[in-house]
Amino acid sequence: FHINASPAGSLTHLLPNAIPSHNCMNQLFQFLALILTNLAYLELYIRQKPSDIDTMVQTSESALAVVDAPPVKPVDEPKLPGDGCPVNVYEYHTLAKKKLPAMVYGYYSSGADDQQTLRDNEDGYKRLRFRPRVLVDVSKQDLCTVILGTASSFPLVIAPTAMQRMAHPEGELATARAAANQGIIMCLSSWSTTSLEDVMQASPNSPKWFQLYVYKDRDVTLQLIRRAEKAGYLAIALTVDTPRLGRREADIKNNFSLPSHLTMGNFTAVDENSKQGRMQKGSGSGLASYVASLIDQSLSWKDVAWLKQNTRLPILAKGIETAEDTLLAMEAGCAGIIVSNHGARQLDGVISTIDALEEVVQATRGRIPVFVDSGVRRGTDIVKALALGASAAMIGRPYLWGLSVAGQQGVEHVIQMLRNEFALAMALCGCVKVSDIRRDMVIRDVYAPYDVKSQLKAKL
């Protein structure tokens, strides 16, 4: 299918130039899909909503494309002295805690205040129970999916985490190569200890997004965007939940600061003396002082419009947990939502991301994709997230533990474990392909903030 829309959003043509199929039935189904898509475009054209039309172009192209799964390289289990090879993310966490300096481990592992939300992010997944289907032929499975028009070996994205060279000398370079070898998307942090150009060069043919903080100096922000576009990043993940840094008591106790031999590579690559590239060491959290002095606290929805005017890349709003903000994000022209509470590192006491997910998904009405991070520790968690409407799940701490323990090989092993757990959970739920995962496959237990048992009963 070849779909073109003018910059103003008006539909110029929608023609079936080629319908790749192997039998007449496939042609019929795809032609019917074309008709339905055409009707949807016509409705949007009448309503004159260009942003909606642009979004549907991307969605329809992704849905109708023939997807080739990215190649996945096999991973040997890391050989670790004495401890044996970890068999799950939790064991990698234990090993990373033993290996990392207290200041670094505290930074990566801790949440805000009493860490209530930190615990709840993981517990939220445990409150979901499966309703599996049986006697389904699962001898051949297809885990591949399409994320913002990009093929992925399975629905997992590497979430942006800062300062990865504190965990391993190769830091973000190792993570980028691992993501490339495993056929998934990586999102790079603004606060990377390696420049965005060097990360792209480490795996030039692998898809990447760029996470963006908006600085008080807008020229600094624009320069980051321009460099990300030039380097070949595919999307901007705009962090919207950090006007100020959450109170992280571990960082306060440990007087956290970026070690002196490291810098914020995205800034020092351009200017070695850049104030954005270094963190002052003192009493308390050096990162809190960095954010207070440099990050723009006045950021609002009007700035999303400013950002759209200054980039051709799709913008994902990262840090949304409510339907109200979801609607505002769509009005502002965001191409996707990342349901996130910043790994429980901002406002303690907010609901877990998996509990917030369905509200956000329902607010989008399928117009833009929704992703979820924070709390994913098992492949079963990914299945649960997709059942509640996510297009993919994102991980942060799990791959940091793998990176800390065994570098690139550790990151790849973590991804491989999650993929294997995901495939097994799909099979045991009766799913052959990702699109087989449905809402009625999970229910919430009686201790959850709310459940869907009454809805299921009415449906059945």
Residue 342: active-site member: yes
The candidate with the shortest Cα–Cα distance to 339, out of 325, 243, 331, 347, is 325
3-state secondary structure 9-31: CCEEEEECCCCCCCCHHHHHHHH
The candidate with the shortest Cα–Cα distance to 269, out of 315, 311, 228, is 228
CA 128 to chain centroid, in Å, comes to: 21
Give residues with Cβ within 8 angstroms of 278, minimum separation 6.
258, 263, 264, 268
H or E stretch including 442?
strand 442-444
Q: Taking the CB of residue 438, how many other CB atoms lie within 10 A of it? A: 14
Q: Which two tokens stand for residue 298?
A: 């006045």
Catalytic annotation, pick one of 2, 93, 168, 342 = 342
Give residues with Cβ within 8 angstroms of 46, minimum separation 6.
none
Q: Which two tokens stand for residue 412?
A: 């790849």
* Distance, CA of 421 to CA of 379 (rounded, Å): 4
Sign of the CA dihedral running 446, 448, 449, 452:
negative
CA 214 to chain centroid, in Å, comes to: 19
Cα dist. 88→77, 155, 315 in Å?
Answer: 12, 19, 33
DSSP 147-206: ETTEEESSSEEE---S-GGGT-TTHHHHHHHHHHHTT-EEEE-TT-SS-HHHHHHHSTTS
Q: Which two tokens stand for residue 229?
A: 């576009």
- Torsion (CA) 253, 410, 233, 59 in degrees, nearest 10: -110
DSSP 216-262: SSHHHHHHHHHHHHHHT---EEEE-S-SS----HHHHHTT----TT-
The candidate with the shortest Cα–Cα distance to 65, out of 144, 155, 158, 11, is 144
* Distance, CA of 59 to CA of 260 (rounded, Å): 45
Catalytic residues: 342
